[in-house]
Amino acid sequence: MKKLVYSHERTLAAITLIIGLLIWLGLIVGTFGIALAVLALGFVLYLFIQSALIAHIKGNG
């Protein structure tokens, strides 16, 4: 494996992962899952928009 740039890089990555997971868990619990539902809905909306863009490009290209 490559040498790390900073000797504590693995420790800092683990700390960042734990903090991120705690924030996501707090967001989901704090909003009773509404934030997760909004995120899923936003992803589906993104897929529809992306599909419409590709259809438009292929139709006019």
What pLDDT, in 10s, does the model give residues 3-26?
Answer: 778 888 999 999 999 999 999 999
4 and 10 Cβ atoms separated by less than 8 Å: yes
Q: What is the pLDDT of residues 20-51, one digit of tens each?
A: 999 999 988 888 889 888 999 999 999 999 99
Asked whether residue 38 falls in the same domain as residue 58, the answer is yes
Asked whether residue 39 falls in the same domain as residue 52, the answer is yes
35 and 28 Cβ atoms separated by less than 8 Å: yes
Asked whether residue 3 falls in the same domain as residue 16, the answer is yes
Q: Give the span between the Cα atoms of 61 and 55, in whole angstroms.
A: 10
Q: Give the span between the Cα atoms of 22 and 14, in whole angstroms.
A: 12
| Structural domain harbouring 5 | 1-30
Asked whether residue 59 falls in the same domain as residue 37, the answer is yes
∠ CA 15-21-24, rounded to 5°: 140
- pTM equals 0.54
Asked whether residue 22 falls in the same domain as residue 39, the answer is no
